[in-house]
Structure 1
Amino acid sequence: MKRSTFYLLSQEFEQKNKPNCIERFACKLISTQWRSGKTILVTCEDKHQATKIDEILWTFDQNSFLPHNLFGKATHHTPIIIYWNQCCYDNQPKDLLINLMSKNMNFFLDFNEIIDFVPIPNILKKWARYRYRSYKKNGFQISVVNIPTE
């Protein structure tokens, strides 16, 4: 069964984890999911955000390496790929999609598992609702989780 998990960002979480709170939390999920054996595609809104994710992953865990690369840089066998909207995805199969984009891309529905986020600004919440409805319409079982403030 296809499934999607939406993480709700809170004002408290954002204030406590500035800057790059959503990117840092996404990297925590990337680390956890990769350690559980999954290959991952991280979709970013733009190259700037993709570069931020790349930089955070290099320094995220000082005791281990998370094998990742930006899309298009010899990524055929890399388990964590960071993609942004200006790229053309090659439909390389991955176990999990972690979505940081505001709009769904057509290939999203090819995944069996998607992690998504509900940001704080109202316009971004509106886009999250569209993504939610799209996943639901296409047979995804959806769960919603509050991000712990830690």
Structure 2
Amino acid sequence: MKVEFYVLPSTQSADRLIAACRLAHKAWRAGFMTFIRCASAQQQAELDELLWTFRKASFIPHALYAEQNCAPVVLGINERPAHTPSVLINLHSELSTHLDCFSRVIEIVNQEPELLHICRQNFVRYRQLGYQPARVEL
């Protein structure tokens, strides 16, 4: 499994959601099933709305896990994805308990101090689990 930490230069949480939309769009266009793991139901609702509106020329076919768990892009919190292997875009502060379902994991990090600290800990945890996480500057 490939693990990447995409690092944003800003401290805005909204930028993480926009980056998640862009990455989901790219994965969907490349033919990958994608699971976006949100930190809360509120974040899930925000992202659901944003996926309809962030690009004026196109939309990303997606659904909430509770409504349709086999859409090309699924928004969940900690559910097991219906399609495996899939791409995981993790917005949650903890590692997924379903890492075995994913061929690729993307963590989106911004410069907010608390999130940076959590993501550094997660980077170490991935290494302890035997993965070789990579850092990608956006």
TM-score, normalising length from structure 1? Answer: 0.82
Partner of 2:26: 32
Q: 3-state SS of the aligned residue for 1:112? A: strand
Q: Choose which of 72, 88, 100 in structure 1 pairs with 2:91.
A: 100
Structure 1 residue runs without a partner (length 5+): none
Q: Distance in 1 between matches of 2:98 and 2:32?
A: 18
Bigger Rg over Cα: 1
Larger displacement relative to structure 2 (92-101 or 102-111): 102-111
The answer as to 2:46 corresponding to 1:47 is no
TM-fit CA distance, 1:91:
4.0
Q: Which amino acid aligns with 2:77?
A: W
Q: Distance in 2 between matches of 1:90 and 1:33?
A: 19
Indicate how the Cα distance of structure 1 residues 36 and 106 shifts in structure 2: closer, same or farther if over 3 A, else same.
same
Q: Choose which of 108, 133, 140 in structure 1 pairs with 2:131.
A: 140
The answer as to 2:117 corresponding to 1:126 is yes
Runs of 4+ that moved beyond 3 A: none
Indicate how the Cα distance of structure 1 residues 113 and 34 shifts in structure 2: closer, same or farther if over 3 A, else same.
same
TM-fit CA distance, 1:50:
0.7
Q: Distance in 2 between matches of 1:104 and 1:4?
A: 11
TM-fit CA distance, 1:54:
0.7
- Number of residue pairs the alignment of both structures matches: 137
TM-fit CA distance, 1:123:
1.8
TM-score, normalising length from structure 2? Answer: 0.88
